[in-house]
């Protein structure tokens, strides 16, 4: 009898280890995988399309590659198994091709903490990006060197958890919308270099580091600070 109990107990233990193992191995969440595939599908690229994010295939029964946490440029949390970082800079293969992407496709990534889309020269009319308010864990956003315009500003300032924000060379212009950026109360770093802002802006009362075209790094504290942005 005793032998039996031990046998049953160890069998149960083995089964539970296998099942848990399976859960961990099945890795990425289906809705997150679909979000990545939607992003890839939204890239309207013709030159060398097969070289761009080539591990992002998502075919069922594709072995380890079925798990989007193993895909290039994707980092998942070891604990939750959800995507926490996407490093999608410099995806472009042909600099003379005019392309765009749908960056609303990332909304299902609830645990996303860092998103880097810099250096892609996306020609995007940014539509639907007000949904970005749903990216409530996003702390780092790098959008440098894309052909966006001021229409992206309300989308960015809706992501209230942002700590690091890099907006260099995005085609932003006009006077800097300081009031909108005041919503980002957790901001620590903001790069605004290589845009076409006009006039001067006072960062008084904002406790984050601002990098602008003029003067390189500037530390803005509660003391009076003002930068001429151009």
Ligand X SMILES: *[C@@H]1O[C@H](CO)[C@@H](O)[C@H](O)[C@H]1NC(C)=O
Binding interface with ligand X (CB under 6 A): 38, 44-47, 78, 94, 96-100, 102, 104-105, 125, 128, 149-151
CB of 90 to ligand X, least distance (A): 16
CB of 48 to ligand X, least distance (A): 7
Nearer to ligand X, 170 or 210 (CB): 170
CB of 47 to ligand X, least distance (A): 4
Decide the pairing of beta strands 74-76 and 83-87: antiparallel
Structure tokens at 82: 């959800």
CB of 162 to ligand X, least distance (A): 21
Nearer to ligand X, 66 or 97 (CB): 97
Backbone phi, psi, residue 219, to 5° = -100, 120
Nearer to ligand X, 109 or 206 (CB): 109
What is the spatial distance between Cα 196 and Cα 214, in angstroms, rounded to a whole number? 12
Q: Which residues, 6 or more positions from 50, have their beta carbon under 8 angstroms from its beta carbon? A: none
| Cα separation values, 119 from 92, 99, 156, 220, 230, Å | 8, 13, 18, 27, 21
CB of 10 to ligand X, least distance (A): 27
Nearer to ligand X, 85 or 191 (CB): 85
Among 115, 166, 105, smallest CA distance to 138 is for: 115
Residues in the chain: 230
Nearer to ligand X, 57 or 77 (CB): 77
Nearer to ligand X, 107 or 209 (CB): 107
CB of 193 to ligand X, least distance (A): 19
DSSP 228: E
Structure tokens at 164: 């690091």
Structure tokens at 151: 């229409």
Query: Which segments within 72-184 are labelled E, that is strand?
Result: 74-76, 83-87, 114-116, 140-142, 164-166, 173-174
């Amino acid at each position: 009898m005793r032998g039996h109990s031990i046998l049953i107990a160890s069998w149960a233990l083995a089964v539970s280890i296998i099942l848990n193992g399976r859960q961990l191995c099945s890795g990425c969440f289906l809705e997150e995988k679909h979000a990545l595939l939607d992003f890839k599908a939204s890239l309207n690229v013709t030159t060398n399309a097969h070289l761009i994010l080539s591990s992002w295939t998502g075919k069922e029964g594709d072995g380890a590659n079925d798990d989007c946490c193993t895909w290039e440029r994707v980092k998942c949390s070891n604990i939750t198994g959800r995507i926490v970082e996407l490093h999608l800079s410099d995806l472009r293969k042909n600099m003379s091709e005019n392309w765009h992407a749908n960056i609303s496709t990332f909304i299902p990534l609830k645990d996303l903490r860092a998103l880097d889309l810099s250096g892609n020269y996306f020609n995007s009319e940014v539509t639907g990006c007000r949904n970005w308010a749903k990216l409530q864990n996003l702390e780092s956003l790098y959008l440098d060197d894309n052909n966006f315009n001021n229409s992206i500003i309300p989308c960015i300032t809706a992501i209230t958890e942002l700590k690091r924000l890099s907006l260099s060379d995005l085609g932003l212009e006009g006077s800097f919308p300081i009031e909108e950026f005041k919503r980002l109360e957790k901001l620590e770093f903001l790069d605004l270099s290589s845009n076409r802002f006009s006039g001067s802006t006072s960062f008084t009362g904002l406790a984050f580091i601002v990098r602008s075209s003029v003067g390189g790094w500037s530390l803005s504290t509660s003391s009076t600070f003002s930068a001429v942005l151009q």
